[in-house]
Amino acid sequence: METVWDLFRRRGYSRREFLSFVSVTASLLALPANLLMSFGRALELREKPVVIWLEFQDCAGCSESFIRSTSVMPSDVLLDFISLEYHETLMVPSGIYAEQAKEDAIKKYRGRYILIVEGALTPAEDGVYCTVGGKANHHLLREAIDGAKWIVAVGSCACWGGIPAAYPNPTGAVPISDLVEGKTVVHLPGCPPIGDVLVATLVHLIAFERLPELDSMGRPKVFYGQTIHDRCYRRSFYSAGKFASGLDDDGARKGYCLYKVGCKGPITRNACATIRWNGGLSFPIQSGHPCFGCSEPNFWDRGFIYKPLSAMPDGFGPKGMLGALAVGTLVGAGVAYMNKKQAKKGGK
Amino acid sequence: MTDILLYDLIRGHLLKLSVYAFFIGIAYRFFRVLFLGLPPDYAPPKGKPILKAIEKVLLKPSQAWRFFLEVFAHRGIQYVGGFLFHLGFLGLTFFVPQHAFLWGDILGFEPPYLPQVVADILAYSALGSLFALTVHRIFNPVLRLLTGKDEYLANFLIGLVLFSGLLATRWAGGAYYLWMLNVHMLSACVLILYIPFSRLSHFVYYFMSVFFYGRNVGKRGVSF
């Protein structure tokens, strides 16, 4: 099977362009300069990865994001960069032949393939809420787990349950890690995650043959080690106490901090503020919308999107305050009345 | 439990519970005392109780006119420290942007908010003076006798809220920020729960008690 360098050569790219790709990916992974040469050498020699991509309860946005990765040429990602043996959404027209190809790949590349899972799992009621080719999703995942060399959960649905698991979670959606035992699942959350993050993680797996450094929730530290707030270009406004009060008010036009209109950047760990989207063009905050924290667990249940992070998710309001004061008043008056009555009794 | 799930628990249920408990507790204490009432006082007032009460409410909080007297009467730590601490802590409680948004959610109107640099100055001064006041309390023989566990617990809780808040604000970056925020919010929730059941409740009843004190002073016809 061809290597990544072979692939570049076949596509007519020069060595300079290959080295440029190596440098970009190495910097995405924040590799130290002394590893650059061995990293490039590994990409020259190692075979491109075999990937089986399963898709369960989701919107296919993660696949969309991946094929729009900009660190590798978009059209090359699926066709060349990886040996994509199976992708549920992309192979839909092939029907049972696609399913056959997957089963063959699981046997042929046993212990060598990277299993990428997109979407939440619904083992409830024997997986009736999500079936592919007549098979329940959790059976499909079980079939593929054993032979996988690495397992990568792509997107918040696969990592944490995401929107399918949001309240009231009618299908009983769970993250895929609930079904995986004895293997580490690399979590790349986001709704969707940045395509380049997946590409860089795959390149890391190919080049170093080991997992990148992960945090306690299984996310590569290099991409999820800092909050959006840490790297946000609007942070100076946050520090200066200048906040937009609406999405189109004067403050918003001046580019003030979006904390007051619900930005979840301070608690969201992702690389949006550094890598950005669409080839580094922009990211939600830069486009004038608050971050809604899509890469953290339960993001959809974290209250109204446009509410400041410091306010209570489902509100309190003057009514709540007056209600609590009324309860306190009644209890205080009641206890005072009892005390007086008791004192009178004692006096008698 | 992961940091973000703990954060959700604190920000959601725990904060709400503590704010409810705060308002219920505050109203309970006030109205219980009010309805218990005081024994009737038939003595005619020697001064002007209401005027004196208003005068105390207006002048006592700042005590600015006593500055030189107090400082040179060897009560500098208590006077300056107490002033800086109260200014800092109350300023931070109500006028830091994040807190102002929370108050806006609770009260229905939003207090004005401070730039971060002013909030930082208030936090440093409040934290420094709290430390000085606590040390003074430990080593001053008279204050030591007057101090109970309540004061030490209150000082510890307030110190933790201030320190973790300052640290979270000045955090240079990294994933531990959420833990810092969790410590800050959790200690604040405990403090909010603790206020109605401790002497810290003077923060709510201050003006009422000063009014009552002024009225008594006016009744007796003395200056304090």
- CATH (domain of B45): 1.20.950.20
Q: How far apart are CA B87 and CA B71, in angstroms?
A: 18
Question: What is the least distance, in Å, from the CA of A334 to any CA of chain B?
Answer: 8
For residue A180, what are its two tokens? Answer: 């995986």
Residue A77 pLDDT greater than 60, yes or no? no
Identify all chain B residues contacting A325, using CB atoms and an 8 Å cutoff. Answer: 23-24, 26-27
Query: How near does any CA of chain A get to the CA of B74, in Å?
Result: 39
Same domain for A77 and A43 = no
Whether A127 and A42 map to the same domain: the answer is: no
Residue A67's alpha-carbon distances to A61, A76, A90, A197, in angstroms, are: 10, 8, 11, 12
pLDDT of residue B37: 84
Distance CA A190, CA A287 (A): 18
| pLDDT the model gives residue A318 | 92
What per-residue confidence (pLDDT) applies to A39? 81
Eight-class DSSP state of A267: G
Do A223 and A270 form a contact (C-beta atoms < 8 A)? Answer: yes
First to last CA, chain B: 55
* A134/B32 Cα distance (integer angstroms): 68
Question: Which regions of chain B are under pLDDT 70?
Answer: 1, 61-68, 70-71, 74, 172-175, 224
Q: What is the pLDDT of residues A130-156, one digit of tens each?
A: 998 889 999 999 999 999 999 999 999
Average pLDDT along chain A: 88
Taking CB atoms and an 8 Å limit, are A336 and B101 in contact across chains? Answer: no
Look at residue A203 and give its three-state secondary structure: helix
On whether both A21 and A162 belong to a single domain, the answer is: no
CA B58 to CA A191: how far, in whole Å?
56
Mean pLDDT of A114-119: 95
Alpha carbon distance A171, B33 (integer Å): 54
Note whether A251 and A157 are same-domain residues. no
Q: Which residue did the predictor score with more confidence, A46 or B137?
A: B137
Domain-embedded: residue A20: yes
Residue type for position A14: S
Number of separate domains in chain B = 1
Residues of chain A in contact with residue B98, where contact means CB-CB under 8 angstroms, are 259, 308-310
CATH of the domain at A86: 3.40.50.700
As a whole number of angstroms, the distance between CA A48 and CA B37 comes to 84
Q: Which residues, in sequence order, are bridge partners of residue A113?
A: A148
Distance CA(B42)–CA(B35), nearest Å, equals 19
Annotated binding residue at A130?
no
- Residues from chain B that touch A216, judged by Cβ atoms under 8 A, are 2
Measured in whole angstroms, how far is the alpha carbon of residue A113 from the centre of its chain? Answer: 22
Confidence of residue A80 (pLDDT cuts 50, 70, 90): low
Please tell me whether residues A259 and A308 are part of one structural domain.
yes
Residues A56 and A156 occupy one common structural domain: yes
Q: How many CB atoms lie within 10 A of CB B44?
A: 6
- Tell me, yes or no, whether A233 and A214 share the same domain: no
Asked whether residue A336 is domain-assigned, the answer is no
In chain A, alpha helices (H): 4-10, 15-28, 36-45, 61-67, 74-76, 96-108, 137-145, 155-160, 195-208, 221-224, 228-231, 235-240, 250-253, 272-275, 317-347
The ipTM value here is: 0.86
Write down the pTM of the prediction. Answer: 0.86
**Are the CB atoms for A135 and A172 separated by under 8 Å?**
no
d(CA B177, CA B168): 6
Are A177 and A165 in contact by the 8 Å Cβ rule? The answer is: no
Q: Which residues does chain B have within 8 Å of residue A271's beta carbon, measured at their own beta carbons?
A: none
Same domain, A193 and A55: yes
Count: domains in chain A = 3
Quote the minimal CA–CA distance from B55 to chain A in Å. 29
A81-92 average pLDDT score: 80
Q: What is the pLDDT of residue A253?
A: 95
Lowest mean pLDDT among A13-17, A82-86, A301-305, B141-145: A82-86
Q: Which amino acid is at A139?
A: H
Q: What are the pLDDT digits (tens) for A157-186?
A: 999 999 999 999 999 999 999 999 989 999
**Which chain B residues are Cβ-neighbours of A239 within 8 angstroms?**
115-117
Residue A164 DSSP symbol: G
Neighboring chain A residues of B10 at a CB cutoff of 8 Å: none
For residues A33 and A86, membership in a common domain is answered with no
The predicted structure's pLDDT at residue A78? 53
Identify whether residues A272 and A164 lie together within a single domain.
Answer: no
Q: Search chain A and give the residue with CA nearest B15.
A: A312
Q: Which domain holds residue A288?
A: 226-315
- Give the separation between CA A347 and CA B100, rounded to whole angstroms: 50
Residue A53 backbone dihedrals phi, psi, to 5 degrees: -115, 110
Q: How far apart are the C-alpha atoms of A145 and A138, rounded to whole Å?
A: 10
Name which of B23, B36, B108 is nearest A325 (Cβ-Cβ).
B23
CA angle A226, A232, A236 (to 5 degrees): 125
The domain of B76 spans 1-220
Q: Do A312 and B108 touch (CB under 8 A)?
A: no
Distance from the Cα of B164 to chain A's closest Cα (Å) equals 15
A157 is annotated as contributing to ligand binding: yes
CB-based contacts of B122, cutoff 8 Å, min separation 6: B87, B88, B91, B92, B114
Q: Which residues lie below 8 Å from residue B142, measured CB to CB, with a gap of 6+?
A: none
Q: Is residue A191 annotated as involved in ligand binding?
A: yes
- CB contact at 8 A, A85 and A52: yes
Residue A71 has pLDDT above 70, yes or no: no
Residue in A with minimal Cα distance to B114: A241
Asked if A176 and A237 sit in the same domain, the reply is no
A62 annotated ligand binder: yes
Query: What are the CA-CA distances from residue A80 to residues A48, A93, A210 (Å)?
Result: 9, 20, 22
Candidates A229, A230, A324; nearest CB to B20? A324
